[in-house]
Structure 1
């Protein structure tokens, strides 16, 4: 697993602030919410994962360098 630099973490945290809305584009996990599921960002952890409270109740995070989400409203 490749860890993000401090600069990348700063960019992720500014792009995905707490309360931002996101939509899942891709997650390679059998427990993943369906593509298109929306959720609210809870924060970004020190390894670059975007912590999301998905609208369907899932708590899986967007893994840095693996999963893809897009910010809603851009």
Structure 2
């Protein structure tokens, strides 16, 4: 029941019970929409996860090259 409540509230069972989110995630990701997307990616198979990682790497590399060119 607690897990279903946490899923409905888009939070963790720890947060419901203790009032604190996973410290590692909470301190690093403040964009809730992005956090939700990463949670969805975690549910994907390994091949899809690798594709997402490759796309992110490509985008970040592109941004770094653009910044160097300025």
Larger strand share, 1 or 2: 1
Please report the TM-score for the alignment, with normalisation by the length of structure 1: 0.22
Of the two structures, which has the highest relative contact order with CA contacts closer than 8 Å and spacing of 6 or more?
A: 1
Q: Structure 2 length as normaliser, TM-score?
A: 0.23
